Amino acid sequence: MSRKWLVVAVAALCVPAAWWLVQRMGSRILTVTPPTEGISRTLATERASNISAVRYTLALNIPPRKEEHIRGTLGVRLRLAERAPVILDFAQPAERVSSIQANGRPVPVRSEHGHLVIPGDLVTSGENVIDIAFIAGDAPLNRDDEYLYSLFVPARASQAFPCFDQPDIKGSLSLTLQVPSTWTAVSNAPEIGRDSAAERTTIRFGQTQALPTYLFGFAAGRFSVERGERNGRAFHIYHRESDPARVAANREAILDLHQQALEWLESYTDRKYPFDKLDFVLLPAFQFGGMEHAGAIYYNAPALFLDETATQSQRLGRASLIAHETAHMWFGDLVTMKWFDDVWLKEVFANFMAAKIVDPTFPNINHDLRFFLQHYPAAYEVDRTAGANPIRQNLDNLREAGGLYGPIIYQKAPIVMRQLEQMLGPDELRDGLREYLTRFAFANATWTDLIEMLDRRTSEDLAAWSRVWVDEPGRPTIDTVLESRNGKISRLALSQSDPRGRSLVWNQTLQVALGYDHGARITTLKMNGASVDVPRVGDLPLPHYVLPNSEGIGYGLFKLDDTSRQFFLAHLPAIGDSLTRGTVWVTLWDDMLEGGTTPRRLFDLMLAALPEEHEELTAERILGYVRTSFWRFLTDAERTSVAVRLEQVLRAGMKQAATTSLKSAYFGAFRQIVTTPEGLAYLERVWRRREPIPELTFAENDYIDMAQELALRDVKGSAGILDEQHRNITNPDRKARFAFVMPALSSDVAARDAFFASLAKVDNRARERWVVDGLAFISHPLRRHHAERYIQPGLELLSDIQRTGDIFFPLNWTGGLLAAHNSPAAAQTVKGFLDTQKNYPPRLRQVIEQQADQLFRAARLVGS
Chain contacts with Zn ion (rule: CB under 5 A): 347, 350
Distance CA 80, CA 582 (A): 57
186 CB contacts (<8 Å, ≥6 apart)? 218, 219, 220, 223, 236, 238, 279, 281, 296
**Residue 24 region by backbone torsions, left for phi larger than 0, else alpha for psi between -120 and 50, else beta:** beta
Report the C-alpha gap between 721 and 249 in whole angstroms. 29
d(CA 156, CA 169): 15
d(CA 368, CA 351): 14
CB of 348 to Zn ion, least distance (A): 9
Nearest distance from C-beta of residue 783 to Zn ion, angstroms:
35
Q: Rounded to whole angstroms, how far apart are CA atoms 287 and 401?
A: 16
Between residues 347 and 620, which has the closer beta carbon with respect to Zn ion? 347
Give the CA angle between residues 35, 39, 41 to the nearest 5°.
Answer: 95
Q: How far is CA 57 from CA 77, 167, 612, in A?
A: 8, 18, 62
97/301 with CB nearer Zn ion: 301
As measured in angstroms, the least distance from the Cβ of 343 to Zn ion is 9
Closer by beta carbon to Zn ion, 297 or else 623: 297
Q: How many CA atoms lie within 13 A of 28 on its CB side?
A: 6
Query: Of 298 and 305, which has the nearer Cβ to Zn ion?
Result: 298
Please say which residue, 349 or 667, places its beta carbon nearer to Zn ion.
349
| Smaller CB separation from Zn ion, 341 or 347 | 347
b/e map 820-836, b = 16+ CB within 10 Å: bbbbbebbbbbbebbee
User: Residue 343 or 710: which CB sits closer to Zn ion?
Assistant: 343
Residue 691 has φ and ψ, to the nearest 5°, of -135, 95
Closest to Zn ion by CB, 395 or 827? 395
Please check whether residue 566 is in contact with residue 559, taking contact to mean a CB–CB distance below 8 angstroms.
no
Residue 674 Cβ, how far from Zn ion at the closest point, in Å?
36
Alpha carbon 298 to its chain centroid, in Å, reads: 14
Examine residue 541 and say whether the peptide bond preceding it is cis (omega within 30 degrees of 0): no
Nearest residue to Zn ion by CB is 350
Q: Which is nearer to Zn ion, 347 or 551 (CB)?
A: 347
The smaller minimum CB distance to Zn ion, of residues 90 and 288, is found at: 288
Smallest gap from Cβ 349 to Zn ion, in A, equals 9
| Helical spans, DSSP H, in 270-401 | 301-304, 312-328, 343-361, 367-383
Nearest distance, CB of residue 800 and Zn ion, angstroms: 26
CB of 701 to Zn ion, least distance (A): 25
**Least gap, CB of 413 to Zn ion (angstroms):** 11
Q: Give the integer Cα–Cα distance in Å for 177 and 25.
A: 39
Specify the residue, 350 or 379, whose C-beta has the smaller distance to Zn ion: 350
> Rounded to the nearest whole angstrom, what is the least distance from the CB of residue 97 to Zn ion in the complex?
33
Q: In the complex with Zn ion, which residue's Cβ is closer, 347 or 709?
A: 347
Q: How far is CA 502 from CA 33, 476, 843, in A?
A: 37, 11, 21
Residue type, 374: Q
The distance of closest approach from Cβ of residue 347 to Zn ion in the complex, given in angstroms and rounded to an integer, is 5
Q: Residue 350 Cβ, how far from Zn ion at the closest point, in Å? A: 5
720 contacts: CB under 8 Å, gap ≥ 6: none
CB of 324 to Zn ion, least distance (A): 6
Q: Which is nearer to Zn ion, 189 or 807 (CB)?
A: 807
Q: Which is nearer to Zn ion, 102 or 321 (CB)?
A: 321
Q: Which residues contact 636 (CB under 8 A, 6 or more apart)?
A: none
User: Whose CA is closest to 294, among 256, 255, 257, 328?
Assistant: 328
Q: Which of 252, 184, 492, 466 is nearest to 344 (CA)?
A: 466
What b/e readout covers 560-572, taking b as 16+ CB neighbours within 10 angstroms? beeebbebbbeeb
Q: How far is the CB of 358 from Zn ion (least distance, A)?
A: 15
Residue 274: CB minimum distance to Zn ion, A? 16
- DSSP code string of 685-752: HHHTTSS--TT----HHHHHHHHHHHHHTT-TTHHHHHHHHHHH--SHHHHHHHHHHHHHH-S-HHHH
Residue 175 vs 413, nearer CB to Zn ion? 413
CB of 353 to Zn ion, least distance (A): 11
Strands (E), 13-110: 51-61, 71-80, 86-89, 97-102, 105-106
Contact 589, 625 (CB under 8 A): yes
| CB-based contact 334:274 (threshold 8 Å) | yes
Q: Are 329 and 273 in contact (CB under 8 A)?
A: yes
